[in-house]
A = this chain, B = another copy of it.
């Protein structure tokens, strides 16, 4: 007697990424590649909670961020879901300060939550893959040079060949503004400049004029952000501006050092460039800033960004904790790459080999599968009683590359049929030679 059960329509919320298994395999491979690269630089893993005390998590937040936060209560607790991995890092470093070794290099790869209006390719739950290097009191500029090499190796390891890491220094911009008495407007000016990719140079000029109301000053800014040429030439033009502002000169010095040390890290010249228009809207960056673009898909926006900040955790501690870091928004990046056919998950598979019994006699099938697994090979079996045709169909759907077909006659001869599912080739192989044949 079956109970009649009322059905609920199974659905996933809009703005929440949920992948098919083949896509998930590819996604996980990318995630793992990022992780392994971060680990090559000695970054330590963290995995902070997704739920935090709202008062702690929102110590700094305000405005747009705060509106997007998932905040709720359970019992007496005022809770919030993390909206980035930087605030939890600030909390963590302040909280465990005495137990950590500085410079503290950590990576964290995890989901964060923002209740944005869902749009195509914009997610409310998405992965961020962050590295940060946190100093205790001070942090050498060499770390700013290491970051581009991390970006370079990460995207190289992900299989990308044509991308550009754009580097700038916020002090150069801030010093420039100070030299023309526009420090108080620097935040707004930076915000306008930051939009140059989107709105174009003319619109930037107009918006600046509206803000600054001084054509001469706007001209200086425009002249500055239009500095072009190779790295050498840009640095020379910056020198030639003869700006005496202290902050400007410090920024220029830092930028030169970063560019000098990048070479030691073996980042090829054609993978990075100085881009004086990059400011990163966020107000906590205080020095070097980075953005990364795929050369052929600049329209995707920056796929990896970050920068240097003076004070990671000023809302939690009096300790001065400068840092430098970057973040990859993997969920959005994955969507964009798939959407633009830059990656394709069609042939992704977990198991390279499937063992199949012709006559639903599973003893030999399981034995062979067990041996292969013991040899470190991922093996799929199929132990349902069904026709061989359907078993092959199953293997095909799972994109299995090698099929080991087990039948009575072959078993008697101590052999199996090994079929290459891509070329269609098949041959008889002795039991004891299976592993070697697969490993080849």
A115 vs B79: C-alpha distance in the bound complex, in angstroms? 12
At the interface, yes or no: A46 with Cβ under 8 Å from chain B?
yes
Within 8 A of B (CB), among A78-124: 79, 90-92, 94-96, 99-101, 103, 105-106, 111, 113, 115, 124
At the interface, yes or no: A423 with Cβ under 8 Å from chain B?
no
- The answer to whether A10 and B94 touch across the interface, beta carbons within 8 angstroms, is yes
Copies in the complex: 2
* A185-193, A259-267, A287-295, A336-344 - interface stretch: A259-267
Q: For A49, list chain B residues within 8 Å (CB).
A: 12-13, 16-18, 125
Q: For A44, list chain B residues within 8 Å (CB).
A: 21, 24-25, 350
- The answer to whether B384 and A95 touch across the interface, beta carbons within 8 angstroms, is no
Given contacts A49-B16, A74-B115, A378-B39, contact A100 B8 (CB under 8 A): no
- The answer to whether A10 and B91 touch across the interface, beta carbons within 8 angstroms, is yes
Q: For A379, list chain B residues within 8 Å (CB).
A: 40-42
At the interface, yes or no: A194 with Cβ under 8 Å from chain B?
no
A94 vs B113: C-alpha distance in the bound complex, in angstroms? 26
Q: Which of B41, B50, B135 contacts A373 (CB 8 A)?
A: B41
Q: For A313, list chain B residues within 8 Å (CB).
A: 10
Within 8 A of B (CB), among A230-249: none
* A165-173, A200-208, A214-222, A314-322 - interface stretch: A314-322
Given contacts A103-B384, A382-B103, contact A47 B70 (CB under 8 A): no
Q: Which of B19, B47, B111, B149 contacts A19 (CB 8 A)?
A: B47
Given contacts A51-B125, A383-B140, A394-B101, contact A315 B354 (CB under 8 A): no
A420 vs B385: C-alpha distance in the bound complex, in angstroms? 58
Given contacts A370-B265, A379-B40, A380-B42, contact A52 B12 (CB under 8 A): yes
- 1/0 contact string of A47-84 vs chain B (CB within 8 Å): 11111110110010000000000101111010100000
* A268-276, A296-304, A361-369, A405-413 - interface stretch: A361-369
Q: Which 6 A-B pairs have the closest CB atoms?
A: A72-B72, A42-B380, A42-B351, A142-B383, A21-B44, A8-B59
